[in-house]
Amino acid sequence: MKRKSFASFLMCLMSAALLAGCTSADSTLAGVGMKELNALQGHWVDINGETTLDFDKNNMTVTSPYNKETFKVKISGDDAKYIENAKPEYEYDKGFGIIGVIRIGYDGALTAHEMVMDATGHEYRFVREEDVDKELEIQIKDRDLPKSIESDEIVSFNMVFSNEYSAYDIPPEEPWYGGVYSFDVERDDDGGYEMSLHGSGSSYIIVDYSGPVSEDYVRGLADLVKEQNLAEFNGWWRTNSEQFDRWYVNIEYASGENILMEASGRAALECPFSIYAFLRYADTEAGYTKELPESDLSMK
């Protein structure tokens, strides 16, 4: 009887040890975000390039045309979730080589920035292979907004565009280098107007001007809006997920009317008005091209 009790005792000990081991393994996975990692298992492709990700438990293999490396990963964040390097070479570096920390988007895509010193690097957007076609498809989300504007009195004008991938209709011989530009006109509380033109690349300023403008200048801007038929395209909204340029227009009138248009991704390559016409008009005040030496004006 005693021997049987002792044998039963040993069996209990062994079972407890096995159970503890299983619990420890599960808690380790839970510590790196088991629920989120389960959803990530398998193959992912970058719609903006050739890099792929492959998840196997808490291992993530990054394969690019130049390199292949496997990392231990964990999930961090409360509301927004991120994939981090669980065993970074340096404590402050939670990324994966030139790929920064990866964000798990609410739409299910995995996004990250390329880590490049003083430059705008590649934008990674990883999706399942079967979702690539949907990601590349241009989505038309046009808003149903009025296609005519009665007022001529602009109280606020905002145009933003990037030309890092496309030149639109900007002459190549003019020094409007690749970057992000904004052209703004705003009426202040005293009825006067302030105008600004700003353009910058990843590590350089192209143009940075601000100053007061006359009512005649703003009336001329309203005329240009009419010449370009912007009201006809009011509500334009086209997009896709690729890493391309974007443009955005928001004009508010004293009457309460407004014009709102935007495009991003490859859809931004289609622009129903002349960006150069507005850039040239902004430069009549900013004087950016007037201040440049002749050698810069002839650059291509």
**CATH code of the domain in which 61 resides:** 2.40.128
Chain segment 229-280, per-residue pLDDT in tens: 999 999 999 999 888 889 999 999 999 999 999 999 889 999 999 999 999 9
Q: Are residues 275 and 293 in the same domain?
A: yes
CA distance 254 to 300: 41
pLDDT at 92: 80
Pair (65, 210) in one structural domain: no
In a domain, 266, yes or no: yes
Which of residues 118, 136, 154 is at a domain's end?
Answer: 136
What's the DSSP call for residue 79? S
Residues 70 and 103 both lie in one domain = yes
Are 144 and 113 found together in one domain?
A: no
Residues 130 and 148 occupy one common structural domain? no
In a domain, 38, yes or no: yes
Is residue 228 in a domain? yes
Virtual CA dihedral for 222, 226, 230, 232, nearest 10 degrees? 140
Per-residue pLDDT reduced to its tens digit, 9-36: 444 444 444 344 444 334 444 455 788 8
Residues 116 and 149 in one domain: no
Same domain assignment for residues 147 and 289: yes
Contact 159, 248 (CB under 8 A): yes
Could you list the beta-strand ranges (E) of the chain. 42-46, 52-56, 59-63, 68-76, 81-85, 102-104, 110-113, 123-127, 139-140, 154-162, 180-187, 193-200, 205-213, 237-239, 246-253, 258-264
Same structural domain, 93 and 157: no
Number of domains the chain is built from:
2
Q: Which CATH number covers residue 184? A: 3.30.1560
> Could you tell me the pTM of the whole model?
0.72
Tell me: the pLDDT tens digits for 192-239?
A: 999 999 999 878 999 999 999 999 999 999 999 999 999 999 999 999
pLDDT given for residue 20 in this prediction: 43
144 plus 281 within the same structural domain:
yes
Question: What is the pLDDT at residue 162?
Answer: 94
**Domain containing 259: what range?**
139-297
Residue 16: inside a domain: no
Residue 271 included in any domain: yes
Spatial distance between the Cα atoms of 103 and 98, rounded to a whole number of angstroms: 15
Beta strands in 173-221 (DSSP E): 180-187, 193-200, 205-213
